[in-house]
Chain A
Amino acid sequence: MTRSRVNLFLQKTFVYTILITMALLIIFIFYTLLVNASRTHVDIQKGFSAFFGNYFGKNLENLLANNNINVLNAMKNSFIIATATAFLSTYVSALTAYSIHLYRFKGRNFLFMFILAVMMIPSQIASVGLITILYSIGFVDNYFVLIVPAMAAPATFFFLKQYLDTILNFELVEAARVDGAGEIRIFHTIVMPLIKPALAIQFIFSFVASWNNFFFPSLIIQSPNKRTIPIVISLLKNSSPDSFDLGPVYMLMVLSIFPMIIVFIIFSKQIIKGITLGSVKG
């Protein structure tokens, strides 16, 4: 009895030690990022520090003043694209998921299986063809081609379909029909509010994916004033004069990483619950 208790105590100590070490390592990475964004270039070169410097405002000022990077404009571009993408892809996927959940139309099963199958295709392979087509017709360097293709998001669809399966029963829709509500109205006034939590999670996921997206935009955007945040980051080569002062470089990373972290910390409970819903059942 006591032996097994000692055993359990040792096991717990071991598990907690590993968990805490892991958590500290991850926190340390982001903490260092924040600390370095508040230090001067010379201080950063000296190595790690546990304490914040008082150069945060100055680094931010220097970064914003740099016209080569033009970070505010890049953040604005990223924000516009990500918001539009998140809104449209969540809405369109919800419509599709609702349709396949509720209506018994011909080809419904085929469509469902098809969308599941294409989730397994590396999306960048389609991007290569899309880039070829877009350059052939000269329709590049605009936000339209960054936003619209992302509207049909199989993963978002699948997540919302799973959620609808667990929550929406046919009687509810039937009752609304008896009350004389049209199909579009039922979707907007009954179904959408019902699945709001799932829509919110998918909105966040789509937003984050679009905000972080690098490959496709880097090949589509040409004008400097249309660059998004990841493109700006990719231009900071070691040799470029913009990275001689590390303070603003760390500040740029803070501005690209921390908005997502803050959103995540606020909604972490719902997001973590949401991840499992979009996958296969165990």
Chain B
Amino acid sequence: MKNKRKTRINYAKWGYRFVIPFVVVYVVFSLIPLLSTFFYSFFEYYFKFGGLEKVGPNFNFLDNYILLFTEGKFFKYFGNTMLIWIMGFIPQVIVSLLLALWFSSTRLNIKAQGFFKTIVYMPNLVMAAAFSLLFLKLFSNNGPVTNFLFESNIIGESFSFVDQNWSTRGLLSFMNYLMWFGNTTILLMAGIMGIDKGILESAQVDGANTIQTFFRIVLPLLRPILLFVLVTSLVGGVQLFDLPQIFTAGSGGPEMGSMTVIMYISRLLGVSKQYGLAGAASTLLFIMTAIVSLGFFFIFYRKEVIPRKSIREGEDK
């Protein structure tokens, strides 16, 4: 008895030993840096004369934040980031949902699923920097797509994809969409496959048509996985950097309409090494991401209440 207890304590010790590398690396290279991002956001800390002379760190409390708020750049870039994300995300979810439904439908019985899934997932593994450069070359003013559309009389001679704000944003959203819709399709498919077939069958027996089954049963049951897709996509979306950085060569595009928050932060960290201001911008981005994520959680939980209520109302009648 005593012996047994001793070995058990020993095993717990092994548990600690095995997690040490992960925990130490995480604390040193992620947690402390994360906290220091917040910490330095309250300091005047940058380098003068092209990175030669260090200024600070001097505590200046909210000065960095006040600068971000009064200058207005941060919020403009945050708006750009969200816009580019949403314009890619809405088609991404709709197309992925459709594809997932089609792939998992026994009635349609789609052949060559492996091939289609491989193709739609492929752009996800492609280097975003290279993908962006490819699109830049294809859609530039002398690029093959622009020339082709001009020769087919679809666009006028003066039309330029890369010199206009909305077409640049649209292309960035499209690239983001192309890179992620395959991933979302596969996640949603797993969710649909996980739905109990008995529920769907009993709905059919009760006379529900395909559209009713989708909106009343499939969609509500997919809620957890949709929330997962939404939040991970948001966290990825606010960090949008590679695509616009390469596509606009770091300039932010026409009217600075494709300048994202991380591009701005990267610029602050670059030559002038404005660590304090970059820290404040990162902290604000963190807070805003958290708020939007919590908003999504809230909306998804509220929706849970609505069907129940409608059922109860139905009973009353």
Contacts and interface: CB of A to CB of B under 8 A. Distances in A.
Given A103-B15, A257-B126, A23 B115 contact: yes
A282 B195 contact: yes
B58 to A, nearest CB: 14
A108 B15 CA distance: 9
A212 B190 CA distance: 27
A219 B12 contact: no
Contacts of A132: 33, 36-37, 40, 45, 275, 278-279
Contacts of B306: none
Contacts of B275: 128, 131-132, 135
A149 B30 CA distance: 7
Interface in B167-210: 178, 183, 186-187, 189-195
A93 interface: yes
B62 interface: no
A23 B95 CA distance: 13
Q: Chain A interface mostly helix, strand, loop or mixed? A: helix
B14 A183 contact: yes
Given A32-B144, A214-B242, A131 B269 contact: yes
A253 B130 contact: yes
Contact of A120 (B36, B39, B102, B293): B293
B72 interface: no
Interface stretch (A11-19, A53-61, A195-203): A11-19
Interface string A92-121: 110110111011111010010000001011
A72 interface: no
B21 A95 contact: yes
B220 interface: no
A233 interface: yes
Contacts of A253: 130, 133-134
B128 interface: yes
Contact-residue size bin, chain A (C-beta under 8 Å from the other chain): 35 or more
A126 B115 contact: no
B211 interface: no
Nearest 10 Cβ contacts at the A-B interface: A103-B15, A282-B191, A129-B37, A129-B33, A99-B18, A149-B29, A276-B190, A105-B15, A130-B33, A152-B26
Interface of B: 11-19, 21-23, 25-26, 29-40, 45, 99, 102, 107-108, 110, 114-123, 125-131, 133-134, 137-138, 140, 142, 144, 147-148, 178, 183, 186-187, 189-195, 221-222, 224-225, 228, 231-232, 235, 238-239, 241-242, 245-246, 249-250, 262, 265-266, 269-270, 273, 275, 278-279, 282-283, 285-286, 289, 293
Interface of A: 8, 11-12, 15-16, 19, 22-23, 26-27, 29-30, 32-33, 44-45, 47-48, 92-93, 95-96, 98-100, 102-106, 108, 111, 118, 120-133, 135, 148-149, 151-152, 157, 183, 187, 208, 211-212, 214-215, 218-219, 229-230, 233-234, 236-238, 246, 249-250, 252-253, 256-257, 260-261, 264-265, 268-269, 271-272, 275-276, 279-282
